[in-house]
Amino acid sequence: MRRKVVAGNWKMNHTPCSGAEFAKNIAPKFEAGAEVVFCVPYVALYAVREAVEGFPVGIGAQNLHFEDSGAYTGEASADMVLSTGAKYVIIGHSERRQYYNETDETVNKKLSKAVLKGLTPIVCIGEHLEQRNQGITEELLRIQVKIAYRGVNVDTALSTIIAYEPVWAIGTGVVATDEQAQQACAWVRGVFGDLYGKDAASKIRILYGGSVTAANAKALFAMPDIDGGLVGGASLKPEFVDIVNAAK
In the residue annotation, 239 being an active-site residue is answered as: no
Give this prediction's pTM. Answer: 0.96
Residues 67, 140: Cα–Cα separation, whole Å: 27
| Residue 89 backbone phi and psi in degrees, to 5 | -155, 135
Please report which helix (H) or strand (E) contains residue 203, including its range.
Answer: helix 198-203
Please report which helix (H) or strand (E) contains residue 178, including its range.
Answer: helix 178-196
Q: Torsion angle of alpha carbons 40, 117, 150, 7, nearest 10°?
A: -30
pLDDT reported for residue 170: 79
- Give the list of residues 6+ apart from residue 104 with CB closer than 8 angstroms, or none: 92, 143, 144, 147, 148
Quick one: how many helices (H) and strands (E) in the chain? Answer: 12, 8
pLDDT reported for residue 142: 98
3 state DSSP class of 56: coil
Residues 192, 244: Cα–Cα separation, whole Å: 26
Q: How would you write the pLDDT of the chain (248 residues) with one tens digit per residue?
A: 899 999 999 999 999 999 999 999 999 999 999 999 999 999 999 999 999 999 999 999 999 999 999 999 999 999 999 999 999 999 999 999 999 999 999 999 999 999 999 999 999 999 998 899 899 999 999 999 999 999 999 999 999 999 999 998 877 777 789 999 999 999 999 999 999 999 999 999 999 998 899 999 999 999 999 999 999 999 999 999 999 999 98
pLDDT reported for residue 237: 97
Q: Hey, CA dihedral for 58, 50, 89, 38, is it positive or negative?
A: positive
**Closest to 230 measured CA to CA, from 208, 201, 248, 213:** 208
In the residue annotation, 14 being an active-site residue is answered as: no
pLDDT reported for residue 1: 83
pLDDT reported for residue 175: 76
**Closest to 91 measured CA to CA, from 114, 74, 59:** 114
Catalytic residue among 35, 65, 93, 95: 93
Domain annotation for the chain: domains and CATH numbers: 5-246 (3.20.20.70)
